[in-house]
Structure 1
Amino acid sequence: MTNKKVAMMGCFRSGTNFAKSLLESNYECEVKNHVFGWKHGFLPIMSEDSSAEYRFDFDNAFFITKNPFSFVVSLFNYHNEVKRNFIAPNEFSAFIRSKLIVFDQAQKHSVQLRFSSPIDYWNAMNWNYNSHKDFVHIRYEALVRHPELITKKVAGKLGLNSKNTAFFIPEKKVKRTSDNEIQLVNEDYLTAQKFDRTTYTDNRYMENYDTDDLRVVVEQLDRDLVSKLGYNSFMSNVYKKY
């Protein structure tokens, strides 16, 4: 049986590698990272006068999001722990209130994307991905809470066939994998680091925010996008606190 090729997009720290490991381990597919140039970049608008075009050597595509509050915490932790691809403050209160510069550190002459804040980044990137009507959307927190159920629903939308083996769920943090790696087995996706899913199932990332931080994030959010991505239920509790 031929593996289907599935394109993947998502902001930094949105759960792309986790989704990739679940889909590839349990379904007949290859999840491709950089079909549109860069999996963490914008989907480009192709002018009818341009010689550039989308690559259609894939069967379907998805994008993955985290809710804005867990996303900002994950982004901040990545910035301080990995120290790659961002120019931004190293203190949380300043981080959420300052501009964010994003680039590909692996490329010597990478161009940069400039956002007024991490929330501006969340708004802009996810609006762009969601505007492509053929993309399947995955909410990371739902995937962590119900990995088998959500993966099955996503696979159905992507037209993927099950491997008919015991369902594999990563119990440790997953690796960043490249498109050049082939025939990975389940353990190949895992690091040695523990993954504490209660960070998301119990919303423990909210402990990083004080009342004024909540206000800063809420005031910057595009509420139309929050609704489009299905976060109204989660955000209703935040709005009450704010």
Structure 2
Amino acid sequence: MIEAGNPNAFDEALEVSASDLVRFEASRSQAASVLSTMPRRDAEKAVIDTILGKRSVSGTAGSKSLWLLDDAFLSYTSADGEAAMADIAMDLASRFELLDPGTSLSVFFARDAHGQPNRLLIIEARAAMRDIFENSKALLKARIYASAMAEHITTVREVSYYSIADIGDEFHADLKRTGFNAIFSRQEPVLYRDFLVGKSDDVPLHFFILAPAALLTMIQARLAR
């Protein structure tokens, strides 16, 4: 631990940062190497399991692999380590029927300067759905779940939600008609839209929908930078 008021604190902080950077670059290199040797279908499953915290392709597991999605998630921690938050997450997921046999759900969070959870990351991976009505219902349940999480954890000021699933061309087209934007790649787009959730509709929800193939392509592009 680096002590406040220590005259050498800045130098110590730089040493810690340098050490973290070395580990980060090693993880990036390892992840790129592992994914490059896998058949594509296996690699798609591997990256999903990694960001859900079930395995690792980067030498680090759980929340330590969230940088594969975005560097902004480097400071996030799994809710599994916080009993109260984990109970809220699972109780609400059960209430809104998100935990069917074909769905995996993981919740992560970052803290504010007072140690309170202020940003949530929810990652949902579900089985492919080709029926537009089933997809619409799943999307609605996910949004209501995100809103309920923001209501129950009152210090939360921002939520990001990644829904990973093959959704079919019909629902893909309908999402674009209803305000979702296709970003990242024309061939394997990520669909994105902002909402406002929470009790007073004042918490931004950044909602992403992407197929496993798009997730893998996005991560490989990040690793190649």
Higher percent of residues as strand: 2
Q: Same fold (TM over 0.5)?
A: no
Larger RCO of the pair (alpha carbons < 8 Å, separation 6+): 1
Report the TM range for the smaller structure's normalisation.
under 0.3
Question: TM-score of the superposition, structure 1-length normalised?
Answer: 0.22
